[in-house]
Amino acid sequence: MPERRLHNALHKLLGDRIAWGFSTANLTTLGVGGPAWGLARPENEGELAAVVAECRAEEWPYMVIGCGSNLLFPDAGYRGLLIKLRPGFEKFELDGNGILRAGAGAKVSAIVSAGLSCGFSGMECLSGIPCSMGGALIMNAGSGGGAVSDCLTRLDYMDSAGQVFRIGKANLNIEYRRLGGIPQGGIILGAEFQLLPTPPLAIKARLDEMTAQRRKSQPQGVRSAGCFFKNPAGESAGRLIDQCGLKGFQIGGARVSEAHANFFVNMGKATAADFLQLMNAVIEKVHKERGLILEPEVHIVGSGNAN
């Protein structure tokens, strides 16, 4: 039975760093989604390559996840293996010249703090975003007019055959909320950045200003995936949804936030289907009233196989 063979192989490889039947709701900030077949936590590149090779040999879908702050899994769950690059890939170092090397599993909150205490700026755009460096890079995450790619110098990834590559910034396709140029199936392992020497007080002032702005304009202490849609060129998705009168609009347990219309909030018992219906209803209304088609920033995960 191929599945048993795969279970045994992954247990042998990872010991207690493999769990079966893991709830995707517990892995995401939205808090919805059914079970994944398994959750693997490889410690290093060798283990990661071996996990990928095992999945590929049995044609099991697999997917790397970070902090789950931008993912919507279906209620049916994920028929495949989720891979979390923690704790093995979470190290980062910032040297005296402002060169930051960070593993894909590094928490961006720790990196933002390190920049502040060492007097190097460039990562403030990630403050308040609950994500790992790998997730931030894939999304080219950012705020306050900046993005994680601004200070990027190079990126390391593993292709689906387990080979590691290093790619310079010039060879990546950097777009708003998207980092292209990594081949299909490539897994980000880490990246290097050149940060700028800046007085800590100036960094602190910037961080404080961003926090205050966030507290004023975005919902706090609720389950959401941050902004649900990308901003259309020259427009704000939040403003468009707001202008369509959709603040507070709710389907099942999923609601358009009253604080910021581009945030969809889990009111407690939402399902993935509620969020998908809410998303479609919002897209339809904004299209009808404003003639623009909103594109999700949140990654809508399929149930496996087709990913």
Apex 142 CA angle, 102 and 256, nearest 5? 130
Nearer to ligand EPU, 66 or 304 (CB): 66
User: Cβ of residue 102: shortest distance to ligand EPU, in angstroms?
Assistant: 20
Which one is catalytic: 55, 125, 227, 244? 227
Q: Please state, in angstroms and rounded to a whole number, the distance separating the CA atoms of residues 26 and 182.
A: 28
Nearer to ligand EPU, 192 or 242 (CB): 242
- Burial of residue 93 (CB within 10 Å: 0-12, 13-18, 19+) is exposed
Omega of the bond leading into 87 within 30 degrees of 0 (cis): yes
DSSP state, residue 183: P
Nearer to ligand EPU, 114 or 282 (CB): 282
Q: Please state, in angstroms and rounded to a whole number, the distance separating the CA atoms of residues 244 and 103.
A: 42
For residue 44, how many other CB atoms are within 10 A of its CB?
A: 12
Nearer to ligand EPU, 155 or 227 (CB): 227
Phi and psi for 246 in degrees, rounded to 5?
-95, 0
User: Cβ of residue 121: shortest distance to ligand EPU, in angstroms?
Assistant: 16
User: Cβ of residue 2: shortest distance to ligand EPU, in angstroms?
Assistant: 39
User: Cβ of residue 115: shortest distance to ligand EPU, in angstroms?
Assistant: 18
Which one is catalytic: 177, 214, 239, 290? 177
DSSP string covering 187-250: EEEEEEEE-EE--HHHHHHHHHHHHHHHHHHS--SSEEEEESBPPPTTS-HHHHHHHTT-TT-E
Give yes or no: 227 in active site.
Answer: yes
User: Cβ of residue 272: shortest distance to ligand EPU, in angstroms?
Assistant: 18
Give yes or no: 177 in active site.
Answer: yes
Site of interaction with ligand EPU (CB under 6 A): 143-144, 217, 226-227, 230-231, 236-239, 242, 260-262, 297
Nearer to ligand EPU, 135 or 226 (CB): 226
Q: Please state, in angstroms and rounded to a whole number, the distance separating the CA atoms of residues 69 and 132.
A: 9
Residues labelled as active-site residues: 177, 227, 297
